[in-house]
C-alpha cells in the first residue's frame, strides 16, 4: 500500500492529512453528541417543578449542574425570569443560537475538507499527466502502450484517493448536520415548554 501511494505524487500526503483531520472531527463530534444524549433530558420540566416550589436558586443550580446546552439555556432564562415575556424570549433565543453554534463547531471545516479533497486529487492527476507526457516527449517515437498506461494510472491514483476521502467526509458532514438540527429542535421544544410553564407561575 505504501509503495502504491508513493507513486501518487506529492499531493498524496495532503490528501491523507485531510482524511485524518476529517476522521478526528467526526469522532470528536460523535463522542460529544453521545455524552449529551443523557444530559438535559426532561430538564425543563424538572426546573419548572422546582421553580413552582419557589426555590429559584435550587432551580438555577439544577440547570447549571446538568452541564448541558439545555441547562445553560435555562440558567440564562432564570436570570431574567422577572422580566417581561419578550425579554425572556430574546434571552432564550440568543442562548439557543449560541449553543447551536457550539454544536456546529468544526462542521464547516469538515465540509471544506470534503470539497478540497477531490480537487487535490484532480490537481495531482493533472501534475502526473504533465510528467507522463514530458517523459513521452523525451522518449520520442520509442513510447509503447505499457509506458503510457503506467504513467496514466499512476497519475490517476490521486483522483481516486481524493474521491475516497471526499465521499465519506461529505456523508459524515450530512449526518452530523442532521444531528445538530435534531438537537436544535429539542432545545427549542424544551425552551418553549419552560417559557410556557414559567408564564403560568406568575
Quick: pLDDT tens for 60-119.
Answer: 888 888 888 888 999 999 888 888 888 989 999 999 999 999 989 899 999 999 999 999
What's the pLDDT at 96?
Answer: 92
Q: Three cell numbers at 57? A: 436558586
Question: What's this model's pTM, rounded to 2 decimal places?
Answer: 0.82
- How far, CA to CA in Å, does 130 sit from each of 10, 96, 123, 142, 193? 14, 52, 11, 18, 63
**To 10 degrees, the CA torsion angle through 134, 140, 141, 147?**
-40
Task: Measure the CA–CA gap between 20 and 43, rounded to whole angstroms.
Answer: 37
pLDDT mean over 20-49: 84
Higher pLDDT, 149 or 132: 132
Half-sphere exposure of 143 (CA within 13 A, CB side): 16
What is the mean pLDDT of the segment spanning 179-185? 91
Q: Residue with C-alpha cell 424538572?
A: 46
- The helices-and-strands tally (H runs, E runs) of the chain is 9, 0
Domain residue spans of the chain: 2-200
The predicted structure's pLDDT at residue 153: 74
Q: Which DSSP helix (H) or strand (E) runs through 41?
A: none
Residue 137 confidence (pLDDT) above 80:
no
Q: Assess contact for 190 and 69: CB atoms under 8 A.
A: no
Amino acid at each position: 500500500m505504501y509503495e502504491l501511494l508513493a507513486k501518487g505524487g506529492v499531493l498524496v500526503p495532503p490528501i491523507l492529512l485531510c482524511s485524518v483531520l476529517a476522521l478526528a472531527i467526526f469522532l470528536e463530534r460523535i463522542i460529544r453528541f453521545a455524552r449529551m444524549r443523557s444530559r438535559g433530558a426532561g430538564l425543563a420540566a424538572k426546573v419548572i417543578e422546582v421553580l413552582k416550589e419557589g426555590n429559584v436558586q435550587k432551580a438555577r443550580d439544577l440547570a447549571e449542574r446538568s452541564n448541558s446546552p439545555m441547562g445553560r439555556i435555562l440558567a440564562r432564562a432564570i436570570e431574567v425570569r422577572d422580566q417581561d415575556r419578550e425579554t425572556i424570549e430574546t434571552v432564550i433565543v440568543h442562548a439557543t443560537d449560541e449553543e447551536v453554534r457550539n454544536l456546529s463547531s468544526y462542521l464547516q471545516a469538515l465540509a471544506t475538507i470534503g470539497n478540497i479533497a477531490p480537487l487535490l486529487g484532480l490537481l495531482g492527476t493533472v501534475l502526473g499527466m504533465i510528467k507522463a507526457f514530458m517523459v513521452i516527449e523525451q522518449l520520442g517515437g520509442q513510447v509503447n502502450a505499457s509506458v503510457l498506461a503506467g504513467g496514466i494510472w499512476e497519475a490517476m491514483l490521486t483522483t481516486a484517493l481524493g474521491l475516497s476521502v471526499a465521499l465519506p467526509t461529505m456523508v459524515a458532514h450530512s449526518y452530523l448536520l442532521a444531528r445538530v438540527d435534531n438537537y436544535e429542535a429539542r432545545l427549542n421544544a424544551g425552551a418553549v415548554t419552560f417559557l410556557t410553564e414559567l408564564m403560568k407561575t406568575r
